[in-house]
Amino acid sequence: MSTFFVAAGSFLLFIVAYHTYGRWLAKKIFRLDANAEMPSQQLCDGVDYVPSKKSVVFGHHFTSIAGTGPIVGPAIAVFWGWLPALIWVVFGSIFIGAVHDFGALVVSLRNRGQTVGEIAGRMISPRTKVLFLLTLFFALTIVLAIFGLVIASIFKIYPQSVLPVWISLPIAVVVGIMVRKSAANLLPLSLISLLLIYASVWIGAYYLPIVLPVDNPVVVWTIILLGYCAVASVLPVWLLLQPRDYVNSHQLIVALVLLMAGLLVASLLGKADLFASAPAIVEVDKLPAGTPPIWPFLFITIACGAISGFHCLVSSGTSSKQVACESDAQYIGYGAMLLEGALAVVVILACCAGVGMGRFDLETGNAMLDAQNNPVVGEAAWSGYYDASGSWSKFGLAQKVGAFVDGGANFLTALGLPVKLAIGIIAVLVACFAATTLDTATRLQRYVIQELGASLRLPPLRNMYVATGVAVVLAGAIAMLPGPSGVAGTGGLLLWPLFGATNQLLAGLAFMVTVFYLWRRNKPIWFVAIPMVIMIILPAWALLWQLFNRTNGWCWSLGEHKLLATIGLITLGLQFWMVIEAILMWPRAKGILEEALPPLKSAGRSKDLQTTGGRSC
C-alpha cells in the first residue's frame, strides 16, 4: 500500500496547493476580474481568437503542455532514484511550474493575447523583444524536430497505436463542425468520441497494427506528420484543435483513473512495491557510464511535469486567445500544470513500481523469465531498463517511452486487462499527447515567425502560410539529417541534449517578463523572482557543463557536436544579453507602466456574445 499512498499523498498536495497558493495568486496578486474584456472578444477572428468555455480551453491547454515531456523526463530522471524525481515534480509543479504558466497566461490576457516575446519588448526593452523571439524560434525548432521523430518512433515501436491516433483526427473534425453548426453539447460528443477511439485501440492491438513496408518507416512517418502539422496549424481552432484536445483531455483523465485503480489493486495484492522495485536514491558509483551530475541535471531532465518554458508559449500563444473570462485563468494556467504534475508522478511510479511488477513479451503476453525460469520482477526488472553497466548516451527513445508504457500496462493488467490491450492503451495515450504538442508547437512557431517578420521588416514572413512553411521545412530538414546512429531521418535526436537546457532557460526568461509586469505595478515579486533566478542559473549551469566539461564537452569535440555547440552557444549568448538588458532597465522600471498598446481599430466584441465551445463571434 505504500506505493499507492505515495501517489495519493502527492495528489492531495496538488489539490491543497490549488485551493490555497493558487487562490492567493489569483485573488491577491493578479486580482482576476471576471468582467474584463478578453483578447478573444476584442480580436475575435474565428481562426486563432475564439472565445470558449473554460473546460474547452483547459482541454487544449493541458493536452498541449502534457506531451511526451512529462513522460520522457521522469523516465530518464529515475536513473538517479525515484525520490529526487518525485520531490522535484511535486514541489516544482506547485511553486515554480504552475506559477510560471499562470503568470504567462495572465500577462498575455492583459496584453491582447500577445506572446511573451512581444510583451518583453514593452516590459523590458525593444531589443529584448527580438532577442526573445529568436530564442523562441530556436527552442521551437528543436521541439518540432524532436517531437516529429518521437511520434514516428512510437509508430514504429508500437504499430498498434497508429490507427487510433489517425482516426481521432476526423472524429475531432466532425465534433468541431457539429458544435459550431448546431451548438451541440460538447461533453456527450467527447465521450462518444472516446469510446470510438478505445474501440480503435482494440482493433489496432489485435487486428490492424499498421507497419509501413519500407526500410526506414521513421522518415516516412516524420514527413507525413509534419505535413499534417502544416495543415492543422492554419485551420481555425474550433475545427480541429479544440475538439481534439478536449477529447484527449478526457482520454488522459480516463487513463489516470485506470492507472490509479490498477496501482491500488496491485498495491493491495503486493505486486506493486515502489520501495522494493527501484532505489530511492542511486549511489554515484552505480550510475550508468557518462551520467551527468544530478545537480543541476535533474532540474532540466524533468522539465514538463515540474516546469517547462514551452508552457509559456502555449499560455501566451494559443490559450490566451481562447479564454472568455479572466477568472478562468487560475483553472487553466495553475490547474493544468498541477494535473501535469500528477501525470509525472504516475510516470515515476510506472517506471519504478510498475516495471518492477514484471516484464512481458508483447506478442505472446507471457512473462519474461530469467536463467532459472523465474519471472523477472522487482529491481531485476527495473535494471532491465536502467542497467548501470550500460551507457547514459545509449539510453534511447525505446527505453524512455517503453519504461512508462510497460510499467503503466502492468498497472492495467492488475485490473484484468490483457497485456496487449493494456500496452495499446498506454502507447496510444503517449502518441496522442505527443501529436497534440507537435501541431500546437507548429502553430506557435508560425506566430513567432510572423512576429519576427514584423520586427525585422520582412513582409513575406508575416504571411501565415509562408511562416508555417518555414517552420515545417526547417524542422523537417533537421529531422532528416543523419542522427547519432548515422541513419538518415534521426537528426532531430542530435538536438535532444539541448532540449532540456534551452527549454528551462526559456522558463527563466518568461519569469523575467512576469517579474517586470508586477514590478512596474508595485506588486510583490518574491514568489516569481525566486523561481526566475533558479530557472536562469540552473539551466545555464547545465548548458555550460555540456559545452565545456573536459570529458565529452561539445566545444572540445566540435567534429562530432558542431550543431549542438553552435546552437548552445547562441542560446547562452541570447540569454545573457537579455539578462543584461533587464538589469539595465530594472532601476528605471519600478512603478512606471510600460508603453500602452495602440487603440484597436474597431470596437471590441461584447463579452456575452460567445462563451461556447469554439463558436465564432
| pLDDT over threshold 50, residue 135 | yes
pLDDT at site 455: 87
Please report, for residues 188, 532, 581, 589, 596, the alpha-carbon distance to residue 584 in angstroms, rounded to integers and kept in the order given.
54, 17, 5, 10, 21
State the Rg of the chain over Cα. Answer: 23
Q: What is the pLDDT of residue 350?
A: 93
User: In this predicted model, what pLDDT tens digit does every residue of 94-128 receive, in sequence order?
Assistant: 999 999 999 999 999 999 999 998 899 999 998 89
Q: For residues 323-341, give the mean pLDDT.
A: 97
Q: Does 290 score more than 50 pLDDT?
A: yes
Q: What percent of the chain has pLDDT over 70?
A: 89
Q: What is the pLDDT of residue 483?
A: 60
Average pLDDT on 415-438 reads 90
Cα dihedral across residues 445, 446, 447, 451: positive or negative: positive
Region 396-400: mean pLDDT is 65
DSSP labels, 213-281:
SSS-HHHHHHHHHHHHHHHHTTS-TTTTHHHHHHHHHHHHHHHHHHHHHHHHHHHHTT---HHHHS-SS
**Which residues have C-beta within 8 Å of that of residue 257, sequence separation ≥ 6?**
none
Q: What's this model's pTM, rounded to 2 decimal places?
A: 0.91
Burial level of 123, CB count in 10 A (0-12/13-18/19+)?
buried
* Helices and strands counted in the chain (H then E): 26, 0
- 608: pLDDT confidence band, cut at 50, 70 and 90? very low
pLDDT of residue 606: 43
pLDDT of residue 486: 64
How many Cα atoms are found within 13 Å in the side-chain-facing hemisphere of 528?
Answer: 24
Residue 615 pLDDT class (50, 70, 90 cuts): very low
pLDDT of residue 327: 96
Is residue 605 very low, low, confident or very high in pLDDT (cuts 50, 70, 90)?
very low
pLDDT band at 284 (very low <50, low <70, confident <90, very high): confident
**Phi, psi at 375, each rounded to 5°:** -60, 140
- The answer to whether residues 304 and 69 touch, using CB atoms and an 8 Å cutoff, is yes
Q: How confident is the model at residue 338 (pLDDT cuts 50, 70, 90)?
A: very high
pLDDT in tens, 511-566: 999 999 999 999 999 999 999 999 999 999 999 998 998 877 888 876 667 878 88
d(CA 98, CA 101): 5
Whether 425 shows a pLDDT value over 50: the answer reads yes
pLDDT for the residue 490: 62
Query: 176-232 pLDDT, tens per residue?
Result: 999 888 877 888 999 999 999 999 999 999 999 999 998 889 889 989 999 999 999
Can you tell me the mean pLDDT for 369-386? 70
**Which domains, ranges and CATH numbers included, belong to the chain?**
2-269+297-309+328-366+396-589 (1.20.1740)
Report the DSSP beta bridge partners of residue 289: 391
| Spatial contact of 423 and 210, defined as CB atoms under 8 Å apart | no
Of 218-232, 277-291, 294-308, 411-425, the range with the lowest mean pLDDT is: 277-291
Per-residue pLDDT of 231-253, as tens digits, reads: 998 999 899 988 999 999 999 89
Mean pLDDT of all residues in 292-312: 91
Question: HSE of 237 in the Cβ direction (CA atoms, 13 Å)?
Answer: 34
pLDDT at 362 over 60: no
Is it the case that residue 393 has pLDDT exceeding 80? no
Q: Which of 38-52, 66-80, 198-212, 245-259 has the lowest mean pLDDT?
A: 66-80
3-state secondary structure 529-566: HHHHHHHHHHHHHHHHHHHHCCCCCHHHCHHHHHHHHH
Q: Name the pLDDT band for 472 (thresholds 50, 70, 90).
A: very high
Q: Which secondary structure element, helix H or strand E, spans residue 349, and what is its range?
A: helix 335-349
Mean residue pLDDT of the chain comes to: 87
Is residue 289 scored above 80 in pLDDT? no
pLDDT at 181: 83
Question: The C-alpha cell of 200 is what?
Answer: 480503435
Which of 19-23, 73-77, 180-184, 451-455 has the largest mean confidence? 19-23
Mean local confidence (pLDDT), 386-409: 69
Residue 145 has pLDDT above 90, yes or no: no
In a 13 Å sphere around the CA of 106, the CA atoms on its Cβ side amount to: 29
Confidence of residue 437 (pLDDT cuts 50, 70, 90): confident
**Confidence band for 612, pLDDT divided at 50, 70 and 90:** very low
**Of all residues in the chain, what percent carry a pLDDT higher than 90?**
56
pLDDT score of 583: 95
